Amino acid sequence: MHRRLLQLVLASLVGAATLAAPAVAAPPGPPDVYRPVRGPAAPAEYRYLQKTLPGESIPRHAHDTAAAQARRLPTVGGRWKPVGPTNIGGRIVSLALDPGRADTVYAAAASGGIWRSTDAGQTFTSAWPDDWTQAMGAVATGPDGTLYAGTGEPNPGGGSITYEGTGLYRSTDGGAHWQPIGLRDSGAISAITVDPANPRRLYVAAAGSLYNGGGDRGVYRSDDGGSRWQRILTGANEFTGATEVVVQGTRLYAVMWDHRRRPDLRTYGGVGSGVFRSDDGGKSWQRLGGGLPAQSPDVGRIGLAVAGENVYAIVNKTSGPFEGFYASKDGGDTWSRTPENKDLANSQSSFGWWFGKIWADPKDARHLHVAGVALLTSKDGGDSWTYDDSSIHVDHHAMVWDPRRPGRVYLGNDGGVYRSDADGDGGWVKARHEPYTQLYSAAISPQDTSRISGGAQDNGSLRSWGGDGFNEYLGGDGEENLINPTDVNNVYACYQYGNCFRSTDGGDNLTYFADKTIFKRRNWFTPVVFDPRDPKVLYYGSEVLNRSTDGGVTWQAISPDLSGGPGPDPIYTNYGTITAIAPAGDGRTVYAGTDDGRVWVTKDLGATWTKLAEGRPWVTRVVVDPKNPDRVYTTHSGYRAGSPMAHVYGSTDGGKHWKDLSGNLPSAPVNDLIVGRGDILYIGTDQGVFASLPGGGRWYRLGRGMPQVPVDDIEYDAGHHRLVAATFGRGFYELRTL
């Protein structure tokens, strides 16, 4: 950390523009403030657009390539320590049981690796290498106890970008050691099925890359435990992948799905989508009709369950809503559409491509569960449905029955792992220890180092006080969280689209304040920050900058629209907004950055604004040196497809001149920056945390012991010499610093 680095050299001048700040009127009518918005363009669109460049898709293997670059950098500093939460959980996409060990269950966390429980789902410990990709799609076991893991999340959207994986892996010792066994270019693996009659014969449903065509996608078979693979079902086009494969002797079923994401288009269905069957072990296949929806561009994701000759399919439209539920009593030759059911349709909301799962009770072919926002249950083969109104979390993705424990079922959803001993018909018990929460933000207090809060994907705003372990004190997708540095009971929390609250009792009671701000558009993650001199002064960014001098009770706009106008999404016009705010320590200077790459400054508390930069990628942070209002940094998101644009810029003259400080950083989005003691720079990225001496340009991996997981936010406590990182998949981590 102490080798000499080159000093900062100022670069090209960016043309400046000056604007006066007019008065801005609030739009008429209050927003719907108590119910988080959900819909086809949110919140996945936010994360996707943030991490791409306009007009570019995410390059093939971008995440894995950046990870390899990060591993090559020298490591400095101590060891990261996980600091929770352990009782909240996070998105689980697949479950499997160990055939040789009773009460042993494996769980695949969407961005948190593979986990093992030996006490019937009460506590989970990691069964996956920390320094490998944590993005998961499937986990399965063979009759001989061999464990398989498929990497890459196959469910696009829903609060996060879906990170691609690095293929298929095998373990013969319960996850203690793993080896890669191929399909590296599969993008995401959605299902793994081991032939119950032959543990060496494997079938894999490879969904493929969401962003790039081709690669290893379709249905694959290996007859030698994964040493060699043969594709036995190829999709209709380069964006058709497989999401299910079911084996019944020589009869096979598979689900194929067209899905593609570009910056300007999302197509989650197409002519390649459908249910397929092979009656000769995969040598030949037919697309099943006989009452199922005909081949069409409007056929979206399909869920499938097979129970002997009873076959069930849930079909969603390309645009996301529910299309119908279908049942067959003759192995799929003929199908009937079951009666309309409002609860079933509502369970898919407008984003059925997020689910696509049916589970049939192995003892009763007419007892079914369907994944959705709510868990839907049928006792009559789909003729009627009820939804589980218990306290289980929403958004369901995985289920498995335990044949050794009558009535025992395990469930995986966005809240983690649950167990029922009533065949899944209620009686759900949540796991006690599951440390794989996906976090968007962190907040800490110099007054009390035990206090940590933060926003979590689909798990609200979490706090470490006020209950047993961490507890949720505001619902929705947790976004910005703040703790007043002079009063630990004065806290702020938001859910998506800038719906923010304040509290004076640590979050027990919350007062909504976002309706007092001025806005036409608010980003999914709306920034709220304290003034460094006085925490009663706060800033809130919509398309204009709002300022409060009374702790968030009242607000006034101090800027014009700082963006380039509404963004590309015609459904949710939440783009063209401020994404980063940095008030300086002089009480007059404030910097702001936008989602369309603009950087602004005012040196007179908003009377006039000067544009310092434009045309950059999405601005994730603007950071001003606490001792010098003219020393400023900006960080930027976006995986690059050959673009030379920087991830980190620095200026020593208030933004008149800028230097690219990216240096040897991995080619991954940079999400946060901190100026630490001695002007050391710390940054949080999609590949972990890095540090540099003043001036940037030469970066080092910071600390040991943090898994290969995205870091969305870092917070710094100079008095206690610590950093706290909010990771997207493994909870909070803490590191002691210089």
Distances (CA, A) of 520 to 330, 596, 598: 55, 16, 18
**By percentage, how much of the chain surpasses pLDDT 90?**
86
Single-letter amino acid code for the residue at 383? D
Task: Please count the CA atoms within 13 angstroms of the CA of 655 that sit on its side-chain side.
Answer: 29
Integer CA distances (angstroms), 101 to 174, 423, 514, in order? 10, 21, 52
Q: What are the pLDDT digits (tens) for 151-161?
A: 999 999 744 68
Whole-angstrom distance, CA of residue 560 vs CA of residue 563: 9
pLDDT in tens, 287-323: 999 999 999 999 999 999 999 999 999 999 999 999 9
182 DSSP assignment: S
Please state the φ and ψ torsions of residue 458, each to the nearest 5 degrees: 60, 15
Give all domains of the chain, ordered by start, each with its CATH number.
47-76+437-719 (2.130.10.10), 128-287 (2.120.10.30)
Virtual CA dihedral for 93, 332, 286, 356, nearest 10 degrees? Answer: -20
Residue 571, both tokens: 């459904």
Q: Which two tokens stand for residue 263?
A: 């910056």
Q: Alpha-carbon distance 477 to 414, whole Å?
A: 11
What's the mean per-residue pLDDT of the chain?
92
Q: Comparing C-alpha atoms, which of 586, 587, 594, 530 is closest to residue 565?
A: 594
Confidence of residue 38 (pLDDT cuts 50, 70, 90): very low
Contact 67, 434 (CB under 8 A): no
Angle at the Cα of 726 from the Cα atoms of 456 and 396, rounded to 5 degrees: 30
User: Quick check: 210 pLDDT over 70?
Assistant: yes
pLDDT above 60: residue 27:
no
E strand spans, 281-385: 286-287, 299-307, 310-317, 322-328, 336-337, 358-361, 364-370, 376-378
CB count in 10 Å sphere of residue 195: 18
The residue among 626, 622, 710 whose CA lies nearest residue 666 is 710
188: closest CA among 163, 157, 221, 152?
152
Radius of gyration of the chain (CA): 26
Q: What is the mean pLDDT of residues 412-428?
A: 97
DSSP lists the bridge partners of residue 492 as 482, 502
474 is written with which tokens?
Answer: 């505001």
Question: CA-CA distance, 312 to 306, in Å (whole number)?
Answer: 7
439 vs 5, residue with greater confidence: 439
H or E segment at 137?
strand 136-141
Tell me: pLDDT of 441 over 80: yes
Helix or strand or coil: residue 632? strand
- Of the two residues 177 and 573, the one the predictor is more confident about is 177
Q: Is 153 left (phi over 0), alpha (psi -120 to 50) or beta?
A: beta
> Which stretches of 13-126 are DSSP H helices?
44-50, 62-71
pLDDT given for residue 55 in this prediction: 77
Q: What distance in Å separates the CA atoms of residue 32 and residue 28, rounded to the nearest whole number?
A: 13
Tokens of 44: 């996945």
Contacts of 587 (CB under 8 A, 6+ apart): 531, 533, 605
Residue 77, classed as helix, strand or coil, is strand
Question: Which residues, at least 6 apart from 468, have a Cβ–Cβ distance to it below 8 Å?
Answer: 87
**Lowest-confidence range among 37-41, 115-119, 405-409, 657-661?**
37-41
Q: Could you tell me the pLDDT band of residue 46, with boundaries at 50, 70 and 90? A: confident
Q: Which of 178, 106, 173, 115 is nearest to 144 (CA)?
A: 173
Q: How far apart are CA 572 and CA 574, in angstroms?
A: 6
Contact 593, 622 (CB under 8 A): yes
CA distance 690 to 713: 13
Average pLDDT over residues 606-623: 97
pLDDT digits (tens, 9 = 90+) for 641-683: 777 789 999 999 999 999 999 999 999 999 999 999 999 999 9
Q: How far apart are the C-alpha atoms of 456 and 159, rounded to whole Å? A: 10
Which of 115, 41, 89 minimizes the C-alpha distance to 439? 89
**Is-above-0.75 flag for pTM?**
yes
- Please give the Cα distance from 630 to 102 (Å, whole number): 63
- Report the greatest alpha carbon distance in the chain: 76
Nearest-angstrom CA–CA distance, 687 and 712: 10
737 token code pair: 């610093």
Separation CA 722–CA 677 (nearest Å): 11
The predicted model gives 389-394 an average pLDDT of 88
Q: How far apart are CA 137 and CA 108, in angstroms?
A: 7
Write out pLDDT tens, residues 696-709. 889 999 999 999 99
pLDDT at 48 over 90: no
Chain segment 225-267, per-residue pLDDT in tens: 999 999 999 999 999 999 999 999 889 999 999 999 887 778 9
pLDDT of 28 reads 30
Task: Check residue 570 and give its pLDDT.
Answer: 62
- Pick the more confident residue, 567 or 496: 496
Report whether 692 contacts 700 (CB < 8 A): yes
| CA dist 626 → 135, 486, 585, 629 (Å) | 37, 17, 6, 7
- What SS3 state is found at 89? coil
Q: Could you give the C-alpha distances from 661 to 82, 140, 616, 637, in angstroms and in order?
A: 29, 44, 14, 14
Name the phi and psi angles at 342, rounded to 5. -65, -40
Question: What is the DSSP pairing of strand 75-79 with strand 700-704?
Answer: parallel
Q: How far is CA 283 from CA 273, 427, 630, in A?
A: 20, 44, 68
What does the pLDDT look like over 524-573, one tens digit per residue? 999 999 999 999 999 999 999 999 999 999 999 999 999 999 876 666 67
pLDDT of residue 569: 60
Structure tokens at 293: 């929806």
Q: How far is CA 5 from CA 73, 180, 626, 632, 698, in A?
A: 16, 39, 22, 19, 7
Question: By CB neighbour count within 10 A (0-12 exposed, 13-18 middle, 19+ buried), where does 642 fall?
Answer: exposed
Distance, CA of 201 to CA of 193 (rounded, Å): 9
Is residue 11 predicted with pLDDT exceeding 50? no
What is the per-residue pLDDT for 380?
98
Digit-coded pLDDT (tens) for 465-485 = 999 899 999 999 999 999 999
Confidence of residue 389 (pLDDT cuts 50, 70, 90): confident
pLDDT of 31 higher than 90: no
Which phi and psi angles does 347 have, rounded to 5°?
-65, -25
Q: Can you give the pLDDT at residue 25?
A: 34
Q: Which of 654, 613, 618, 653 is nearest to 16 (CA)?
A: 613
**Would the CA dihedral through 336, 360, 420, 149 be positive or negative?**
negative
Contact criterion met (CB below 8 Å) for 445 and 485: yes
Residue 694 phi, psi dihedral angles, 5° rounding = -50, 140
Sequence-ordered list of residues with C-beta below 8 angstroms from that of 83, at least 6 positions apart, any chain: 452, 724, 731, 732, 733, 734
